[in-house]
Amino acid sequence: MSVLIVGLPLLAAIVCMLVRKKLWLSVTSVSSSLLLVLMVGSLLLNVDPAVSPAVYPMSGWGAPLGIELSVDGLSLIMLFVTSLVVLLLSVYSTYYFNVSEQHIRFWPLWWFLIAGLNVAFIARDAFNIYVALEMIGLAAVALVAVAKKRAALVAALRYAMVGLVGSLCYLLGIALLYRLYGTLDLSMLANLAEPSLSTSVALCLISLGLLLKTALFPFHFWLPPAHASAPAPVSAALSALVVKASFYLLLRFWLEVLAPSVSAGAANVVGVLGACAIIWGSLCAYRATRLKLVVAYSTVAQLGYLFLVFPIALAGDPELGFRSGAVAAVAYFVIAHALAKSAMFLAAGNILASTGNDDIRQFSGFASRQPIAVFTIAIAGISLIGLPPSGGFIAKWLLLTAAVESQQWWWLVVMLVGGLLTALYLFRILGIAFEQNQPLAKGSNFLVLPKPMVFCGLALALLAIAGGFNAEWVIQLIDQDMSSLHGMGVAS
């Protein structure tokens, strides 16, 4: 089944390259998205991570001679949220692009991106992960450039350069690991790797490459222009899925593959950068005047929460041990953020497509003219702020609990300040939208959008809220994973 999860997007990409009709491109893509959801759902029902990760050797040859794909609780969560978001974004995209030429360019790149994401989540070989990162990077850059506007082309070029540097750092890191241990299989590396200067250098190179791709502060400079300039479904995928893939890989290397080489000091440094991202990204979001730019800077801020997992899980009092609750919190945060942020980008895209403008200063009265788009932003904002009963509330509550249990209360302060700043820039948007004391800007025309475009974003926002009602399955999957990880110790 895991082979099909990679093979289906690749097959869809090839079919989309051969098909030239808009209708058949849309039918192929939506049906493939639905089939992908069904396959991941089947995996969720049939794979039991409590026994051991389900390993699938390609062509019957296992490591180290062959290539293995592996599915465990964490990868299942990533596959699940990816398939769910991809389904709704695919439906949205069939209506968003109204010219056949745009469909012809978009769909093959879209499916190559999804294939790369799925490979990154289930690959068990560091070089195959590099191949996946290249697939993701090249497809994402090309998708940003699909907009064919000067700002999008400049942003895509900057994105490509950063991605190239990140890939080079990662490749140098795994080359050093191969020189040291003679294998790139992640399970074998977890058993063989020992704390040493060379291993630490390799880990630093790998981490730097993945941090560049994840856009953690201060490496975030490429993200806001790329996400704000790309077509709406591309912006949603970049924020909800693409940056999460490199974070997921970083989590794997730090907590599983090279865990003995990770120091508490390094974990705290990454945590401080995450805290800076929360504050700086939120302030930039508040100052931005374009709606898509606000949502893009919000992504910079929200990514900061993910990196708090490292000091909370790995630092603090050594006698308290490893905190698996922090990893469960981050896994749930990935789900909640992916749903809420993709909803916000679709709502912003709808406003831009309907009016030709996303300047917040001209949003007075939009609540009555674009009620569903504004409602979508409000509902998604509940999850981003972390208000009950949303999935964002569950994620932040789990992270707060883990911080208190690890006796690192200062991260609690960072999270609370971040939540207040998130409320500040979201209430600014909603406050202007509900104003009635200013007339609508002259010449503003409202294009009526197809219903699927309007409701896809709303569906994602409602799913982000619904996620707050069933967190137990995520916690169980992660707890089972953490009990079987190779090496939970942290270097002093």
Q: What pLDDT shows up at residue 157?
A: 94
Residue 56: strand, helix, or coil: strand
Distances (CA, A) of 216 to 38, 280, 397, 455: 33, 11, 22, 31
User: What's the rounded mean pLDDT across residues 41-60?
Assistant: 71
Distance CA 301, CA 308 (A): 12
* Mean local confidence (pLDDT), 451-469: 91
Where residue 67 falls among pLDDT bands split at 50, 70, 90?
confident
Q: How confident is the model at residue 443 (pLDDT cuts 50, 70, 90)?
A: very low
Separation CA 331–CA 306 (nearest Å): 9
Residue 473 confidence (pLDDT): 72
Instruction: Tell me the CA distances in angstroms from 167 to 101, 368, 479, 486, one per residue in order.
Output: 31, 47, 31, 26
What is the pLDDT, as a whole number, of residue 113?
Answer: 96
Mean pLDDT of 241-255: 93
Residue 304 has pLDDT above 70, yes or no: yes
338-381 pLDDT, tens per residue?
Answer: 999 999 999 999 998 888 888 888 888 777 888 899 999 999 99
Mean pLDDT across 102-122: 91
pLDDT in tens, 307-320: 999 998 886 554 44
Q: Give the Cα separation of 272 and 216 in Å (integer).
A: 11
Q: Does pLDDT of 454 surpass 80?
A: yes
Reference 417, options 218, 279, 255; nearest CA is 279
Burial class (CB in 10 A: 0-12, 13-18, 19+), 82: buried
Contact predicate 323/312, CB 8 Å: yes
487 confidence band (pLDDT: 50, 70, 90) = very low
What is the pLDDT at residue 264? 86
Position 446 confidence tier, pLDDT thresholds 50, 70, 90: confident
Sign of CA dihedral 382, 456, 429, 365: negative
pLDDT tens per residue across span 69-92:
888 888 888 999 999 999 999 999
Q: Which of 12-26, 89-103, 180-194, 278-292 has the largest mean confidence?
A: 278-292
- H-helix or E-strand spanning residue 54: strand 54-57
| 415-434: average pLDDT | 92
CA neighbor of 268 nearest in space, from 406, 151, 156: 406
Mean pLDDT score across all residues of the chain? 86
Whether the pLDDT of residue 484 is over 60: the answer is: no
Is residue 184's pLDDT more than 50?
yes
DSSP state letters, 217-274: TTS-TTHHHHHHHS-HHHHHHIIIIIHHHHHHHHHHIIIIISGGG-BHHHHHHHHHHH
Question: With pLDDT > 90 as the criterion, what percentage of the chain qualifies?
Answer: 53
Q: With CA atoms as reference, report the closest residue to 340 among 394, 286, 287.
A: 394
Confidence of residue 492 (pLDDT cuts 50, 70, 90): very low
Segments in 288-362 forming alpha helices (H): 291-307, 309-314, 324-355
Q: What is the pLDDT of residues 384-419, one digit of tens each?
A: 998 988 888 998 998 998 888 888 888 899 999 999
For residue 353, the model assigns a pLDDT of: 86
pLDDT surpasses 70 at 19 = yes
The answer to which of 26-30, 68-72, 156-160, 308-312 has the lowest mean pLDDT is 68-72
Residue 187: pLDDT band (50, 70, 90) is: confident
Q: Biggest alpha carbon distance in the chain?
A: 70
Q: Residue 97, SS3?
A: coil
pLDDT at 324: 64
Identify the pLDDT of residue 1.
Answer: 62
pLDDT at 247 over 80: yes
- Give CA torsion, residues 44, 46, 51, 52, to 10 deg: -60
pLDDT in tens, 232-244: 999 999 999 999 9
